[in-house]
Amino acid sequence: YEDASPQHAYGVPWKDAKDKTPFGQLPLLLVDGKELAQAGAIIRYCAALVPALVPAEPLEAARCDMIFEAARELDAVNPIVNVFRGEAFDAKKAAFFDSFPAKLARLARQLRESEGPFSCGAAPRWCDFMLYHNLDNARLLEPAALDAYPEVRTFMAAVEATPRVAEFLQARPKPVDIGTKPMLEPNVPGIRVKK
């Protein structure tokens, strides 16, 4: 795949490229010249490319989708980690953590009931990656945020031990200067290509 910045992909600054996208926002996936927008649609499409990540049984598939949607309710953590600064960062972080404990408790119960370590049982499913991402971002903001729930810590460790995930986590850029001047280190603007 090729990971390109909006400016690189469209040849103009993002503010000028927005109107060229289906909904004026990111993320956007280009497949054979066709645009696919909206994170959920992109994630479901990518998951379908790896059949082992998608449950075949309809009820299990619905449970996977349920966990994904519950994980999306934590999406507010992403701009807190990656965008906000100063007082806005402090206010957004406080608001996020006001509702986070109750949501985390419900997710922990779902993990307990799954007989895990993953959200749908013994094998990772596509929903686990969204859940991991948002919980990991919460942990970036508050390192002890997940500590009260052993099943959540077990889930995080299981995702991190998945071979390709472990490889990715070792190589991915790290968020730095959260709340002051958020960026990824190394900061690689433009284009990245993975074979």
Token duo for residue 48: 């379908």
The predicted structure's pLDDT at residue 34: 92
pLDDT of residue 181: 95
Mean pLDDT of the chain: 93
Residue 100: how many CB atoms within 10 A of its CB? 21
Contact 35, 22 (CB under 8 A): yes
How many whole angstroms separate alpha carbon 3 and alpha carbon 9? 9
On the question of pLDDT at 194 being above 70, the answer is no
The span from the CA of 42 to the CA of 28, in Å, is 8
pLDDT in tens, 126-184: 999 999 999 999 999 999 999 999 999 999 999 999 999 999 999 888 999 999 999 98
Rounded CA-CA distance 10/71 in Å is: 31
Res 191: pLDDT: 55
Structure confidence by residue, pLDDT tens digits, 28-60:
999 998 999 999 999 999 999 999 999 999 999
pLDDT band at residue 3 under the 50/70/90 scheme:
confident
Q: Is 50 helix (H, G, I), strand (E, B) or coil?
A: coil
* Predicted confidence (pLDDT) per residue in 60-100, tens digit: 999 999 999 999 999 999 999 999 999 999 999 999 999 99
- Residues 140 and 97: their CA atoms lie apart, in Å, by 13
* Residues across the chain: 195
Per-residue pLDDT, 2: 77
Q: How far apart are CA 195 and CA 191, in angstroms?
A: 13
